[in-house]
Structure 1
Amino acid sequence: MEALLQFLGNIPWWGYLLIILVLLIVRDISQKKHTIVHNFPLVGHLRYFIESIGPEFRQYIVANNREELPFNRRQRSWIYASSKKENNFQGFGTDQDMYSAGYNFIKPAMLPYKLPSGHPNIANPYICPSAKVIGEYHKRKNPYLPKSIINISGMSFGSLSAPAIESLNVGANKFGCYHNTGEGGVSAYHKKGADVVVNIGTAYFGVRDDNGNFVMEKLIKLCQDNPAIKMIELKLSQGAKPGKGGVLPASKLTQELADIRHVPMGKDIISPASHSAFSNIREMVDFIEQMADATGLPVGIKSAVGKLEMWEELADIMKKTGKGPDFINIDGGEGGTGAAPPSFADHVSLPFVYAFSSVYRIFQKRDLNDKITFMGAGKLGLPDKAVMAFAMGVDVINVAREAMISIGCIQAQVCHNNRCPTGVATQNKWLQSGIDPTLKSERLYNYMKTMTKEILEICHAAGYEHPCQFMMDDVDVAMGDNNRTQSLRTTYQYQKTPVKFEGFQKLLDNPYLGGKGSH
């Protein structure tokens, strides 16, 4: 033994390295799982390493400012700079091809809107309530007027980490927008002061029994115990994977999550594809009315869009009975923050502009649009996209990935494997530890302020006081095939129903602003 130790002690450091390399080569050649590594020992490992950092490599070195998807570098840089209160301007003009097909042009007025003396936006350029009271038409007990036209879309605790949810809620409270829980239920991190919209999906997390069935008594108690809950959103489907329930991989499931969702530990949590509480449109309307009557809150639906027959049926029932959802949230097929099969994320459901225009026309034909608040989601968290959506008939914008970017997401696109490097979309405690909710909530607050301010500035440039005043003739679309432009009205074959608007001060004085108990 002593001789062996002496021999080993005489081996230089590079000798140990050589021994390790030889052992690795023997191991690589012996295994049959990876052909590349077997045929090219040691060197073959580089292939998997480079593949693992491929998205980041392309993001920072290969792709240009406007090339990446879902969000290109220019878009992300604007969000980052806005959230950090840094310079978010650009110099030397646009670097976009303004003649490319689908390019949007917002039409400015010859003379912009001038804020009159005493206008609320003079003292505070960041406030902009929605122009529609949600739940007023259906005479809900507690109607709700959102304090902001820009709000946080449904992202569940589980899909996102605890400090990320807390950062969003604290920032939302400071800014004055609502925070949608996503279908994972209400957690302690959703109770930091912001208005809350409870999202109820097909698994009824947090309001279910042991068999996954909906329990009304649990929903009533949840709303009674949490006065911050202002609305209920019944999720039929989402843009990233319509017709397929949400997925929380077992690797991301903690005991805390299991308790909140009322699910067992140790296996993937996959929501059913459809609801068990109803099986057709008429039963869905009845279910909505039951929840609204029991809680006193406005109830709406969230859905991706494809076939339109059931939308026609829903509109007919609402026209005939005067019952149905208080709001309709259209989620574009380009949306998605969590895990989804590529075939669904890439091909199932319509993108926002086609989805929203199709549904909006259906309700417009039945004179229902002034009775419903329309919400939109799917890459609308940038000022130009938001203005386009308002011109098409959207009343409220919901942002998800843009909010994630504002609190540090780098678009690593690993939300599905619990290895999010920024700690935003992971349950890994070490990775989460890098998020400081005090700092990150301020970043969200800054992004929301800047987003709202720029939308209002575009409004004023177009001659309007509020985004609800945008009409479809205010935005043109470039038609690349014949080198000309045409309005949204011509492109999508309808004109938006005008929204009743009597001025900012009327909105700020509305007793339903922020819901019951906010004044």
Structure 2
Amino acid sequence: MESTGFAHWLVVMVELVAAFALLLLALAVVVLLVTWVVDRNQTGNAVLRNFPIIGHFRYWFLHLGEFFRQYLYSSDREEMPFNRAQRTWVYRAAKNVDNTNAFGSSRDLRAEGVPFFVNAPFPDLGVDHVEPVPVTVGPYAREPYSHAAFFNISAMSFGALSAPAVRALSRGAAKAGIWMDTGEGGLAPYHLEGGCDIIFEIGTAKYGVRTPEGKLDDDKLLAICAHPQVKMVSIKLGQGAKPGMGGLLPGAKVTAEIAAIRGIPVGEDSQSPNRHLDIGNVSQLMDSIGHIRELTGKPVGFKAVLGGVEWIGELCDEVHKRGIESAPDFIIVDGSEGGTGAAPQTLMEGVGLPLHEALPALLDMLIVKGLRERIKVVCSGKCITAYDVAWALSIGADFVNSARGFMLALGCIQSLQCNRNTCPTGITTQNPKLQRGLVVSDKSERVFHYAKNVMHEVGIIAHSCGVSEPRQLNRGHCRVVGDDGLSIPLEKLFPYPQAARRQAGVDA
């Protein structure tokens, strides 16, 4: 009797499943028919008009390929902006695990543009290695800033980054003894949370320190610079990924908190002006630097992507007219290969000098004008591994900044979703569900390990080259492969210029 009842219910279940399957099949047929009719009669897409239904596979594969290409098809050295070998190096450095390789390098050492370093036959003994010497920025400011670490966190604003990401960076930076640049989005409590040194950036929209008309609010700036962690102020003139265009924060990322910090409407796209309204020439830039330095007492400099250095020469001439104390305390040069959360492809790929041209050009101009010691140089632009940083130091940079390197340390998988608020690792999204994946206590340790391991391995390179600390590297320590497959030293590719003679503070 019981078995008969069970069989009855089994038959009923099978009939229900079969009916449901038939219903789904009927719906699928209807959907396919409707899709066929729509595809066949629409006029906007030739592929779908000629190949209804099956033409959709092309677009599905294009979309999925963006995510699966790095896992299934690309070799270790193929991808852009960072290939698998570079990302893996950062991941392992951030996790503080063994970063050695076996058998040999997969890097093509004969490819044009590849840098490598010249080892000394008799390097100093390991016991003679010394820690980097602090560099003082802003000797004429009321509060000069001395900083030893040569590798620091580049400008990334709260809004472009999530709160957990900023918190992890702040904590990790404090532990590693490096600075953190706020980016143009204003100073958030999360920047201060870890206790690290802060570089406050003033963008073209002056977020966080703006009047309702978009001008600089001195009182707001004073309040921000009253924080003892805020060590310097940077005026953002431009950004490597989008020269001549202001920052763009999609409305999906503009939460109430971000809007309050920036002083903008909630949920609306935030587009900064393409330049500062009050800075239209070298003289006005010098005026702004002098005003902010006198107001805050902090060292003040600017960040720019270079299209040439003639205007830097004009700035240096203006410094000599006004006096050495009027000079910007630092210049951050951002290569055109720099990253961003959102930028037009045209600007990202076709405007501005890349770092390997911009950095030596800037340094040489400062040498010619006799201001190299007065103005400290910071560089940024795809410097994420130890040899990238060592190259920049050998050219002559005082400090090297990285943004995407630290994003990779936080767990970035290069999914290229920064501008869509859908970052799967919680780094560049304001979606709380996605932010949950970023555990601050864990990722802050990775930030710390990444910074320390980069600086340690740059130290290894310096030691191999026969100098006792990384800032002693010079252009004679690095060679670059030319188009004929043979290398030439950087000091021949970019020879050190002679400083121009000056009398009474003006050109001779």
TM-score, length basis structure 2: 0.90
Following TM superposition, by how much is the alpha carbon of 1:496 offset from its aligned partner in structure 2, in angstroms? Answer: 10
Q: Measure the CA separation in 1 of the matches of 2:258 and 2:37.
A: 42
SS of equivalent to 1:88: coil
SS of equivalent to 1:105: strand
**Number of aligned pairs?**
481
Please tell me the residue identity of whatever aligns with 1:250: G
SS of equivalent to 2:235: strand
Q: Measure the CA separation in 1 of the matches of 2:29 and 2:171.
A: 54
1:427 paired residue number: 430
Residue number among 120, 137, 140 corresponding to 1:134 in the alignment: 137
Please tell me the residue identity of whatever aligns with 1:297: K
Alignment check: 8 A CA contact 1:244 1:272 kept: yes
Q: Measure the CA separation in 2 of the matches of 1:276 and 1:18.
A: 62
Q: Measure the CA separation in 2 of the matches of 1:410 and 1:50.
A: 20
Q: Measure the CA separation in 2 of the matches of 1:473 and 1:309.
A: 26
2:270 paired residue number: 269
Please tell me the residue identity of whatever aligns with 2:317: D
Please tell me the residue identity of whatever aligns with 2:259: A
Which shifted more, 321-330 or 23-32?
23-32
Q: Measure the CA separation in 1 of the matches of 2:319 and 2:27.
A: 72
Tell me if 1:325 matches 2:332. Answer: no
Following TM superposition, by how much is the alpha carbon of 1:334 offset from its aligned partner in structure 2, in angstroms? Answer: 0.5
Q: Measure the CA separation in 2 of the matches of 1:140 and 1:297.
A: 6
Alignment check: 8 A CA contact 2:327 2:375 kept: no
Q: Residues 149-188 of structure 1 correspond to what in structure 2 (within 5 A)?
A: 149-188=150-189
1:466 paired residue number: 469
2:486 paired residue number: 484
Which shifted more, 375-384 or 20-29?
20-29
Q: Measure the CA separation in 1 of the matches of 2:154 and 2:141.
A: 23
Alignment check: 8 A CA contact 1:424 1:432 kept: yes
2:452 paired residue number: 449
Q: Measure the CA separation in 2 of the matches of 1:86 and 1:10.
A: 52
Q: Identity across aligned pairs (percent)?
A: 37
Note the residue ranges of structure 2 that are not aligned, 5 or more in a row: 1-12, 500-508
Please tell me the residue identity of whatever aligns with 2:281: N
Residues 16, 147 of structure 1: CA spacing in aligned structure 2 closer, same or farther, 3 A cutoff? farther
Alignment check: 8 A CA contact 1:471 1:495 kept: no
1:3 paired residue number: none
Tell me if 1:144 matches 2:151. Answer: no
Alignment check: 8 A CA contact 1:28 1:37 kept: no
2:214 paired residue number: 212
Alignment check: 8 A CA contact 2:368 2:497 kept: no
Please tell me the residue identity of whatever aligns with 1:206: G
Tell me if 1:48 matches 2:59. Answer: yes
1:16 paired residue number: 23
Note the residue ranges of structure 1 that are not aligned, 5 or more in a row: 1-5, 122-126, 498-519
Residue number among 360, 382, 386 corresponding to 2:385 in the alignment: 382
SS of equivalent to 1:160: coil
Residues 287, 93 of structure 1: CA spacing in aligned structure 2 closer, same or farther, 3 A cutoff? same
Please tell me the residue identity of whatever aligns with 2:429: T
Q: Residues 190-209 of structure 1 correspond to what in structure 2 (within 5 A)?
A: 190-192=191-193, 193-209=195-211
1:29 paired residue number: 36
Q: Measure the CA separation in 1 of the matches of 2:55 and 2:29.
A: 15
Following TM superposition, by how much is the alpha carbon of 1:44 offset from its aligned partner in structure 2, in angstroms? Answer: 3.9
Residue number among 61, 66, 69 corresponding to 2:80 in the alignment: 69
Tell me if 1:352 matches 2:352. Answer: no
SS of equivalent to 2:143: coil
Residues 30, 162 of structure 1: CA spacing in aligned structure 2 closer, same or farther, 3 A cutoff? farther
2:125 paired residue number: 114
Following TM superposition, by how much is the alpha carbon of 1:40 offset from its aligned partner in structure 2, in angstroms? Answer: 4.7
Superposition RMSD in Å? 2.1
Following TM superposition, by how much is the alpha carbon of 1:223 offset from its aligned partner in structure 2, in angstroms? Answer: 1.2
SS of equivalent to 1:330: strand
Following TM superposition, by how much is the alpha carbon of 1:143 offset from its aligned partner in structure 2, in angstroms? Answer: 0.6
SS of equivalent to 2:466: coil
Larger Rg: 2
Following TM superposition, by how much is the alpha carbon of 1:195 offset from its aligned partner in structure 2, in angstroms? Answer: 0.8
Residue number among 63, 67, 79 corresponding to 2:90 in the alignment: 79
CA deviations 1:436-487 (Å, max 9, x no partner) are 0100111111111110110111111111111111111111111122x42211
Following TM superposition, by how much is the alpha carbon of 1:418 offset from its aligned partner in structure 2, in angstroms? Answer: 1.2
Residues 27, 157 of structure 1: CA spacing in aligned structure 2 closer, same or farther, 3 A cutoff? farther
CA deviations 1:252-302 (Å, max 9, x no partner) are 111111111000123210000010122211111011011011111001111
CA deviations 1:139-175 (Å, max 9, x no partner) are 1111111241110000111111111111111110111
Following TM superposition, by how much is the alpha carbon of 1:36 offset from its aligned partner in structure 2, in angstroms? Answer: 4.6
SS of equivalent to 1:191: helix
Residues 98, 11 of structure 1: CA spacing in aligned structure 2 closer, same or farther, 3 A cutoff? closer
Q: Measure the CA separation in 2 of the matches of 1:133 and 1:17.
A: 72
